[in-house]
Every structure is written in structure tokens, then in C-alpha cells.
């Protein structure tokens, strides 16, 4: 993580910190861990390597910090209804996979286990996200908004898969519009999913 002890002399510029972290996500998203280096990040950020090393001890710490602060977190939310909770969950997923750090998020899913200093924090983050998502669906079952026999795993896999495929399959010239409409698409995705689940339960009754 980022060093907390400030170096003597001129105070650090928070805007430079943010620019370097943003560049780190972009470089990682473009080339993965194999193409990630302090030099490439400094070049993308328009700063010297010394500016990077002033803030981070090396490329592992730089990437870990950039991922921690720059990626959308999937978190538990309780709006009072399953529909509202799932819409917010889907919106977070769409922001993660269709937002400005989308390439880094996808790379991380593939490479996290092989990156020093990133594997354990990523696994903890992923476990927390899965736990939060499952809690949302279980609350809905507990409130009677879903049938008791509904599969928590299948519902969440379908929701996450739909969000990710929307981000991956959107043509380049429409990605900006898609990123601006994450709330709208999240609602459409959840409406479709819940209708399919409840209609199946009614047919089996």
C-alpha cells in the first residue's frame, strides 16, 4: 500500500497521486502484470519515476493501492425490497465492468492469483463481494419476495453474467452511452431476471 510517511520538502500534490493511480489502472488494463512497470506508469501519467517512488515502494505496492482505491466495490445494500437491492447490486457490477477501470477489473479477475501483494487482498475482496450478494438474495427469500426453493447461486450467476456480458459485448462506439446508463440497464436486467424466476415458480405451483 501507499507509504504513509511524507517525504521532506515540498508537500505532495493529491492530483498527481490520483493521476499516477489512474495511469496504473490503465497500464495494467492494457498489458496485464507482464506489461506493468513503474516506468510505463510514470510515462502514462506524465511524471518522472522519482515521483512514483516517492509515493510507492515498488510496482507491487503501486498496483495494489491503485486497485484498492480505483475499482468499484460490490457491497451489500438494503433498500427494503429485493428488487431495489438487486438493481443497486447490478448497477455496481455494471460500473465495475463498463466503467473507466473496466479493463483493469477484467485483468484482475484473470491474473490476481499470480501477482505478489495482490492475490490475498483480491481474494478477501472477492469473498466479501460474494457474501454481500448472497445476503441480498437471502433477505429477499426471507421476506417472501422469492420462493424458498430459489437458487441463490444461479440467480446471482445469471445477474453477474448478464452485467459482464453487457459490458463486454457493447460496441466501442456505444460504450460511453452504456457507461452513462448503468442504472437504467441494471433495472432492465433485474426486471427480466425476477420475472423469469417468479414466472417459473408460478408455473410449478
CB atoms within 10 A of CB 67: 24
pLDDT digits (tens, 9 = 90+) for 56-109: 999 999 999 999 888 888 888 899 999 999 999 999 999 988 888 889 998 998
Determine the pLDDT at residue 4: 39
pLDDT tens, the chain, 205 aa long: 444 334 444 456 778 899 999 999 999 999 999 999 999 999 999 999 999 999 999 999 999 999 988 888 888 889 999 999 999 999 999 998 888 888 999 899 899 999 988 888 888 888 988 999 999 999 999 999 999 989 999 999 999 999 989 988 989 899 888 888 999 999 999 999 999 888 765 666 5
Domains and CATH numbers, the chain: 14-69 (1.10.10.60), 72-204 (1.10.357)
pLDDT of residue 6: 41
pLDDT in the model for residue 201 = 59
CA atoms within 13 A on the CB side of 55: 26
The predicted pLDDT at position 158 comes to 94
Let me know: does 185 contact 94? Beta carbons within 8 Å: yes
Task: Output the CA torsion sign for 126, 131, 135, 138.
Answer: positive
Q: What is the pLDDT of residue 122?
A: 87
Among 167, 154, 165, 148, which residue's Cα sits nearest to residue 196? 154
The C-alpha atoms of residue 19 and residue 69 are separated, in whole angstroms, by 12
Amino acid at each position: 500500500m501507499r507509504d504513509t510517511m511524507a517525504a521532506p520538502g515540498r508537500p505532495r500534490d493529491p492530483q498527481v497521486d490520483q493521476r499516477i493511480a489512474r495511469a496504473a489502472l490503465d497500464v495494467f488494463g492494457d498489458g496485464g502484470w507482464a506489461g506493468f512497470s513503474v516506468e510505463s506508469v510514470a510515462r502514462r501519467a506524465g511524471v518522472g519515476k522519482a515521483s512514483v517512488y516517492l509515493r510507492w515502494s515498488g510496482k507491487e505496492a503501486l498496483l495494489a493501492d491503485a486497485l484498492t482505491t480505483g475499482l468499484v466495490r460490490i457491497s451489500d445494500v438494503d433498500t427494503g425490497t429485493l428488487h431495489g437491492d438487486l438493481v443497486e447490486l447490478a448497477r455496481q457490477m455494471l460500473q465495475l465492468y463498463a466503467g473507466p477501470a473496466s479493463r483493469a477489473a477484467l485483468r484482475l479477475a484473470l491474473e490476481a492469483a499470480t501477482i505478489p501483494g495482490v492475490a490475498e487482498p483480491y481474494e478477501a475482496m472477492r469473498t466479501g463481494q460474494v457474501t454481500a450478494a448472497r445476503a441480498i438474495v437471502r433477505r429477499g427469500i426471507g421476506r417472501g419476495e422469492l420462493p424458498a426453493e430459489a437458487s441463490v447461486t444461479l440467480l446471482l450467476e445469471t445477474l453477474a453474467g448478464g452485467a459482464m456480458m453487457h459490458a463486454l459485448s457493447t460496441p466501442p462506439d456505444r460504450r460511453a452511452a452504456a457507461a452513462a446508463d448503468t442504472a437504467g440497464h441494471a433495472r432492465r436486467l433485474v426486471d427480466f431476471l425476477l420475472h423469469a424466476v417468479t414466472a417459473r415458480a408460478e408455473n410449478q405451483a
